[in-house]
């Protein structure tokens, strides 16, 4: 999963804000996929791997719960950065199917991809 952690995710049009609502959706998705291997990438203008692809759901759920807005990544929505980082985590996998779930609230306005 590639999750947007840009400043716009703090908007309060969802309760308590977009980021917390997204985290709830992501947690429910992970819990509903007991046999899948899942990894987590977070992105704003830049991206990094928060959790490697794993079958250990507790690791992924802990990574989701620990997501927060901070100054680690430059602000903006670099969808290409998040998507590319997620694809790079999957490209060498021997799995029969590889899927990236991109979670965002905006349009690409940052990053160089």
The strand pair at 38-43 and 2-4 is best described as parallel
Question: What proportion of the chain, given as a percentage, has pLDDT over 90?
Answer: 84
Average pLDDT over residues 61-87: 94
Mean pLDDT of 92-111: 91
Encode pLDDT of 5-55 as tens digits: 999 999 999 999 999 999 999 999 999 999 999 999 999 999 999 999 999
Q: How confident is residue 84, by pLDDT bands cut at 50, 70 and 90? A: very high
From the list 111, 108, 106, the residue with the least C-alpha distance to 73 is: 111
The 10 Å Cβ neighbour count of residue 108 is 15
For the whole model, what pTM was predicted?
0.92
Q: Report d(CA 94, CA 103) in Å as an integer.
A: 24
Mean pLDDT in residue range 76-97: 94
At residue 81, what are phi and psi to the nearest 5 degrees? -65, -45
- 90 has a pLDDT exceeding 90: yes
């Amino acid at each position: 999963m590639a999750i947007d952690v840009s400043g716009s995710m703090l908007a309060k049009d969802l309760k308590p804000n977009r980021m917390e609502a997204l985290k709830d959706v992501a947690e429910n998705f992970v819990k509903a996929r007991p046999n899948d291997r899942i990894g987590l990438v977070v992105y704003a203008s830049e991206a990094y791997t928060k959790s490697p692809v794993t079958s250990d759901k507790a690791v992924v759920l802990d990574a989701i719960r620990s997501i927060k807005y901070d100054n680690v990544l430059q602000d903006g929505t670099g969808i290409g950065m998040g998507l590319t980082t997620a694809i790079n985590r999957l490209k060498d996998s021997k799995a029969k199917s590889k899927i990236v779930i991109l979670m965002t609230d905006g349009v690409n306005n940052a990053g160089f991809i």
